[in-house]
Amino acid sequence: MRISDHRYNGERLRMELALRFLRHEARTQTIRAWTGLSDDRIRKLYRTYMSQASRFLPRHRGKSPHQVGYFTRSQRSQHETAVLASVLSLLGAVPAAPDTAAGVPALARGEQLCQAFEAYRMLLPSSQITFEHAVFLATALARGDQLRLGGCGGCGGLMVTERFTLRTQRCHHCASPLQAH
């Protein structure tokens, strides 16, 4: 079921999504992009939240992640990325077919993103992938310009690969050192 954005125009829903992003330690610029709230509103929301929060939430400033290599740099990150990408597409945070419009932040998709990330954290509690990276992954997969979701050349298992790679992609099981020698 696709819930269109017009149901999400209410200020309350913006604030709720901003809070959910804050709890996942999203950066201010990310919260601004996905909720449309001003930096000032986000700062106030953070202060209000922290005054009653049970744990300290760090505020991250500066640039959001933008290196696609992060998702393929090791077997571990490759595996975690494949699991996260599956959950993202299962819960609708990444469309079946990539297109530019789907990469644009929107309230409804922001909510799907949070749901997917929360489900993912339950599946892999020790994962090192941050929420900011999940946002980056969902956006890149939705646009399909830098990363794509595909099958391993060996077993067909789901994996995320860089869009313009020349090598045949194999998952870490198929590309294990035993078979490479």
The footprint of Zn ion (CB under 5 A) covers 152, 154-155, 157, 171, 174
Q: Which is nearer to Zn ion, 119 or 175 (CB)?
A: 175
| Least spacing, CB of residue 173 vs Zn ion, in Å | 5
**Beta-ladder partners of 125:** none
Which residue, among 145, 160, 169, 134, has the nearest Cα to 64 in the 3D structure? Answer: 134
Q: Which is nearer to Zn ion, 15 or 174 (CB)?
A: 174
Long-range contacts of 163-168 (CB under 8 A, 24+ apart): none
Q: Which is nearer to Zn ion, 22 or 171 (CB)?
A: 171
| Least spacing, CB of residue 61 vs Zn ion, in Å | 39
Q: E strands, 1-65, where?
A: none
Q: Please say whether the dihedral angle defined by the alpha carbons of residues 130, 134, 135 and 137, taken in this order, is positive or negative.
A: positive
Backbone angles phi, psi at 21, to 5 degrees: -65, -40
| Least spacing, CB of residue 79 vs Zn ion, in Å | 11
| Least spacing, CB of residue 152 vs Zn ion, in Å | 3
Q: Which is nearer to Zn ion, 13 or 174 (CB)?
A: 174
Backbone angles phi, psi at 139, to 5 degrees: -65, -45
**Beta-ladder partners of 149:** 160
| Least spacing, CB of residue 17 vs Zn ion, in Å | 37
Residue linked to tokens 């994996």:
159
Q: Which is nearer to Zn ion, 140 or 171 (CB)?
A: 171
